[in-house]
Amino acid sequence: MAKYVMNRLFAMVITLWIIVTITFFLMHAVPGSPFNQERNTSEAVQQNLEAHYHLNEPVFIQYAIYIKSLATLDFGPSIKQSSTSVNEMIGRGFPVSAELGITSLIIAIISGIVLGIMAALRHNGAIDYMAMTFAVIGISVPNFIMATLLIQQLAVTWEIFPVATWASPMHMILPSIALATGPMAIIARLTRSSMIEVLNQDYVMTARAKGMTTFQIVMKHALRNALLPVITILGTLVAGVLTGSFVIEKIFAIPGMGKYFINGINDRDYPVIMGTTVFYSAFLIMMLFIVDIAYGILDPRIKLHKRGE
Amino acid sequence: MKKIVTMLLSLLLLIGIVGCTTTENSSSNSNSGSDDAKQEDGTKVLKLNNGSEPTSFDPPIGFDSVSWNALNNLMEGLTRLDDEDQPQPAAAKEWEKSEDGKTYTFHLREDAKWSNGEAVTAEDFEYAWKRLANPDTASPAAFLSYFIEGAEAFNTGEGSEEDVMVKAVDETTFEVTLESPVAFFPNLISNPAFFPVHKATVEENPEWHTEADTYVSNGPFKLTKWEHDSEFEFSKNENYWDADNVKLDQVNWAMVDDTNTEYQMYKTGELHTSDVPADLSEELFSDGKAQVEDQSGTYFYRFNLEMEPFQNQNIRKAFAMAVDQQKIVEFVTKNEEKPAYGFVAYGFEDAAGGDFREVGGDLVTTDADQAKELLEKGMEEEGYDQLPAVTLTYNTSDDHKKIAETLQQMYKEVLGVDVELANQEWNVFSDEQKQLNLQFSRSSFLADYGDPINFLESFQTDHSMNRTGWSNEEYDSLITKAKEETDEAKRFEYMHEAEALLFEEMPIFPIHFYNQVYLQNEDVTGIVRHPVGYMELKWADIK
């Protein structure tokens, strides 16, 4: 186990380094500069700005400087918001995105699994069809439409919730629901199909024959196995949801991380592009790693150390 | 079984559709920002939206509208623009100009104070202006300081700080010597780039401007809360010299980036003003709810004179005259912009009290017949049997696309020319345009300060805003003369001449002037929106 973990950690660092390198050179290969504004600025001013951020140096030197500061976990200052460092941006934005992400993940996981189980138990029944129709809508309605509908109906017309911003728990409800619908639908569908499969297994039959109630069977025997595929996608889902959804955060004016990904690229704010990419990649790699470990715990048939050797 | 599923699905779809329609109905019926704007305890709190996190509240760095709107109300320069956009005494109570128009002596108010209670001194100004020009500051607004003698040399690394001709003669006397007599200097220095900074604070803590508790300001308001990326809050600055005339107790700024959300918040009373969402603009204009204010800027197109067929003046003119600006603003943009038939926007008064644009008149007209004639003439001059292919490029955006497609259609109808359209992401586009790689491209100009020369200087030979390959000695000399001239009437004459020359050769042609369209709570009064792009809350009030 320890050896497996060490191997994986080493592989993670290499993966991260490859991502950093590719991103860095791609980013500098794209035309444009962080100082391209609609407004007019003089050449001399541009040069001063470039010198200030070492952008006048050859790309390889910039790369070396960057890797060096990255080793100390310093992502450098943002060019656009010059008084803020990228570390500060992530430090501010990530907790907010994570808060939103965790809330919506809890909504998505609980309601997704419940829906999936109900559908599986009433396979081909009315509840199954209703739940799956619901899931199809959840997958096919983009979350920004969901968000707009929620705002229009619950905030503007009925005035139950505030329209936007991130001030109180009340403010969290609408964006969390909007962000949760997609993952919820995916989880519900996955749970349903693997549940149906598990429910037809011999050991479930045995349990039934022993006279256990449906509730007991689901909780004790079926669910644990049925959740494996759900865990598989959870890794990516968690990383995606926790590091911010640009669209939802924009619509609800939530000060999360999502906007840095997009605005960083639009503004050619190099340190921000790098910082967010590194952070997201590291997070994603970490999540996949945790998922692999979780497999071993949930399913004793999977032996981690064998694959690691 | 299948039938039931189909039925169920169609039922759901139906519910969805009905749901959407009722939503629309209810939105037009609900109240539109007419909630009682005042707080219950009688304090006056204005709720505004800044769109996003300000770039910086450090005056020389925050050179954009997300910083200006706030900065202009936190700080105060020597002058402040009034509700008619004219510079009025602010931190300076009066000033004199030397005979040659090159030296300005400002006398500061004795009662001008910083939010920490200390006096605003001439030394603060000297320090701030030298800081603006300092190459180490890396201010994007540094070029505005080039009017001051020695500032350009210092900024480009050729001169020294001592040679920048700004001087604190004593506590309250501040003397500036300019490169040339700049008649609009009092107007120019109302720009946030010229705001003072509290010298002791800046020297002690270079990060003073990043948090609310270290921020020291001298304007009508002070920064009391700043939650980065989320919101910030102003309170009335009781140390401000004219605090008696500041009526608001507090201003809350949200950072909502999405226009639709902003509009919804406006409707529920969470905001007092809002932009107009594009899909609703027609409705809001016809209801009379949307209000319009000028903005100093021009939406225009650039020809590239180094690419065929636009080396030819008549072909350029043909392409310009085939365009119907009136139709574009009426049927395409539908945002009540004024169609542009000249480059300098409205709102610049000359010595005789006339508006520069009105005096200058229409320099390009929409004339299909003449456009056709000019195209033929131009093709003959160049010996073309067939016009070389023309590609019109714009930076990717729905609004620009609509205009580009309209132009394409106009060229097809009027000139019988098939123009190809291409779009590029903003940064790529901007690079390509600067390197003269685009044949015919969408452009915009936003004024930095309130004088026609700011518009016209763009097209001097090799100016960073030229981007057409156009060069005309006479034009260059007219701009230089206008910059040197002390007599206002003559100065405007030179500028009119220059503009006429620009349109005679037509390296560009205009589409419309920019404007600012907004919704505002009926109880809110006195917000002034200057055409140069910043907002004034000093006189704002809530009924």
B463-481 pLDDT, tens digit each: 888 999 999 999 999 999 9
CB-CB neighbors (< 8 A) of A30 in chain B: 427-428
Which residues are CB-contacts of B479 (< 8 A; sequence separation ≥ 6)?
Answer: B453, B456, B457, B460, B494, B498
Which amino acid would we find at residue A33? S
- Nearest CB to A38; choose among B138, B264, B444: B444
Q: Is A268 on the interface with B (CB under 8 A)?
A: yes
User: Which residue, among B50, B67, B229, B299, would best test binding to A if mutated, counting the most A CBs under 10 Å from its CB?
Assistant: B229
- Nearest CB to B270; choose among A32, A43, A163: A163
Based on its alpha-carbon atoms, the radius of gyration of chain B, rounded to whole angstroms, reads 26
Residue numbers of chain A with a pLDDT score lower than 50:
307-309
DSSP string, A239-288: HHHHT--HHHHHHTT--SSHHHHHHHHHTT-HHHHHHHHHHHHHHHHHHH
- Nearest CB to A83; choose among B27, B209, B425: B209
- pLDDT of res. B173: 95
- pLDDT of res. A56: 85
CB-CB neighbors (< 8 A) of B256 in chain A: 164-165, 253
- Nearest CB to B143; choose among A38, A41, A166: A41
- Nearest CB to B140; choose among A49, A159, A252: A49
**Nearest to residue B113, comparing CAs of B242, B295, B274, B233?**
B242
- pLDDT of res. A305: 54
- pLDDT of res. B26: 38
Test B458 with A83 for CB contact under 8 angstroms: no
Please give chain B's pLDDT, 543 residues, in tens: 445 555 455 544 444 444 444 333 333 333 444 446 677 778 899 999 998 899 899 999 988 888 989 999 999 999 999 998 899 999 999 999 998 889 999 999 999 999 999 999 999 999 999 999 998 888 888 889 999 999 999 998 888 999 999 999 999 999 999 998 888 899 999 999 999 999 999 999 999 999 999 999 999 999 999 998 889 999 999 999 999 999 999 999 999 988 999 999 999 999 999 999 888 888 899 888 899 999 999 999 999 999 989 999 999 999 999 999 999 999 998 888 999 999 999 989 888 889 999 999 999 999 999 999 999 999 999 999 999 999 999 999 989 999 999 999 999 999 999 999 999 988 889 889 988 999 999 999 999 888 999 999 999 998 888 999 999 999 999 999 998 888 889 999 999 999 999 999 999 999 999 999 999 999 999 999 999 888 999 999 998
Distances (CA, A) of A91 to A13, A75, A84, B194, B294: 22, 12, 11, 33, 40
Beta bridge partners of residue B444, listed in sequence order: B299
Distance CA A162, CA A199 (A): 44
User: Which residue, among B14, B24, B228, B461, would best test binding to A if mutated, counting the most A CBs under 10 Å from its CB?
Assistant: B228
- Nearest CB to B427; choose among A36, A41, A250: A36
Q: Is A202 on the interface with B (CB under 8 A)?
A: no
Q: Is A152 on the interface with B (CB under 8 A)?
A: yes
- pLDDT of res. A217: 85
Test B64 with A39 for CB contact under 8 angstroms: yes
Phi, psi of B253 (to 5 degrees): -110, 120
Test A155 with B255 for CB contact under 8 angstroms: no
**Shortest CA gap A100–chain B (Å):** 15
- pLDDT of res. A39: 60
User: Which residue, among B25, B261, B463, would best test binding to A if mutated, counting the most A CBs under 10 Å from its CB?
Assistant: B261
Distance CA B375, CA B320 (A): 11
DSSP string, B338-395: PB-SSSSPS--B-TTS-BHHHHH--SS---HHHHHHHHHHHHHHHT-SSPPPEEEEEE
Which 8-state DSSP code applies to residue B118? Answer: P
- pLDDT of res. B108: 95
Please state whether the peptide bond connecting residue B309 to the residue before it is cis, i.e. omega within 30 degrees of 0.
yes
The residue of chain A nearest to residue B32, with distances taken between CA atoms, is A156
In the stretch 247-266 of chain A, residues with CB closer than 8 A to chain B read 250-253, 255, 259, 266
Distance CA B415, CA B316 (A): 12
Q: Is A36 on the interface with B (CB under 8 A)?
A: yes
ipTM associated with this complex: 0.81
Distance CA A132, CA A128 (A): 6
User: Which residue, among A163, A265, A267, A269, would best test binding to B if mutated, counting the most B CBs under 10 Å from its CB?
Assistant: A163
CB-CB neighbors (< 8 A) of A253 in chain B: 254-258, 261
**Are B225 and B233 in contact, with CB atoms under 8 Å apart?**
yes
What percentage of chain A exceeds 90 in pLDDT?
Answer: 16
Interface A-B: count of C-beta contacts within 8 A: 157
CB-CB neighbors (< 8 A) of A35 in chain B: 140
